[in-house]
Structure 1
Amino acid sequence: MERVDWTDPDLQRLVADQEREIDARYGDSEHASHLDAETVTVAVLARDVESKEAIACGVLRDPAPGFEAGTGELNRMYVHPDHRRRGIGKEILRALEAVAKERQLGQLVLETGIQQPEAIGLYTSEGYRIIDNYPPYEDDLDSRCFAKAIGEEG
């Protein structure tokens, strides 16, 4: 795992790959989360051990837009298709949760799509629970929002 700036070219390549995949699944090119260097608290990359190519990413925003202080938002969770089903997504998720603990956040929230069962499976297996869709996803029938308490775990 490697922490990088939002402007990192490898991160931006993975974000573009993720957007293309989302567009293909949902037939939509409108991306609701407006991330930039000012809204991203931390971004993490995973690299292939041999090639050193960036193969997965995720970001944390603190605070999550529309939430009170103490709630962060996970975003841009993505693993390149050639590297899925190897636990890399779980490693990214846990790295971002560790950052949330460092920042003394009490809760993380995230949004994913109903046509992403692999993502939903990851989040539920890691203790995230379904919550009401939060803005800007409250009227989006393709969205599913999750939350997890962070602070009180051992």
Structure 2
Amino acid sequence: MNIYRTDSSNADFQGLVSALDHILAGHNGDENAFFEQFNKIDSIKNCLVIYINGTPAACGAFKPLSENTAEIKRMYTNPEFRRRGLATAVVIELEKWAKELGFKKAVLETSRELKDAISVYEKIGFQRIPNYGQYVGIDQSVCYEKVF
């Protein structure tokens, strides 16, 4: 497993995100346009790609939400590589990188129906918080926070 820090111009990151967007479009249904507007990747500076034997297998990113808070975005593991701890590795590396840049905490939003994702976040210490920002009042969303 190799973890590569990059930005959103990376073709492998873009390919993984494209696969994620396809899955989320089906999952979100009629609400997809709402979520899509917050998931643009045209200028994210802090992205990761995990490679397994040279194949892009998982990705994630963060962007500043405030001076002290990083928002974790675009988490995805190719189904072929799931159940190997890659999502955990992505989040841990994103936390490490965010801390290096002076962030004090990370937040994220996910769907209440994505139980596997929720279990990853809770397992590594994220705590459920009230929905923040654009997710306030969105029943499908659950939000999490981890203070470093």
Q: Give your verdict on TM over 0.5.
A: yes
**Which amino acid is the alignment partner of residue 42 of structure 1?**
N
Divergent runs of 4+, >6 A: none
Higher fraction of strand? 2
Gap runs ≥5 in structure 1:
none
1:127 — aligned with what?
125
Partner of 2:45: 41
Match of 1:26 among 15, 22, 28: 28
Q: How many residues align?
A: 143
The amino acid of 2:7's aligned partner reads D
Q: Where do residues 1-80 of structure 1 align in structure 2 (5 Å cutoff)?
A: 1-28=3-30, 29-30=32-33, 31-38=36-43, 40-49=44-53, 52-62=54-64, 64=65, 68-80=66-78
Superposed displacement of residue 24, structure 1: 1.8
CA-based RMSD? 1.3
1:107-153 superposed Cα distances (whole Å, 9 cap, x missing partner): 10000001100000000111101111112111211100000001xxx
1:100 CA displacement: 1.1
Name the SS of the counterpart of 1:85 in structure 2.
Answer: coil
Question: What TM-score do you get using the length of structure 1 for normalisation?
Answer: 0.87
Q: Identity of aligned pairs, percent? A: 29
- Contact map agreement 2:39 2:74 (CA 8 A) in 1: no
Partner of 1:104: 102
Give, in angstroms, the shift of residue 44 of structure 1: 0.4
Secondary structure of the corresponding residue to residue 6 of structure 1: coil
Q: Give the Å deviation of 1:75.
A: 0.3
Deviations 1:78-125 (A, max 9, x none): 101111110010110111010011012111000000110000000011
Kept in 2, the 8 Å contact 1:114–1:144? The answer is yes
Report if the CA contact (8 A) 2:39-2:73 is conserved. no
The CA distance in 1 between the partners of 2:125 and 2:95, in whole Å, is: 12
Deviation at 1:55, TM superposition (A): 1.0
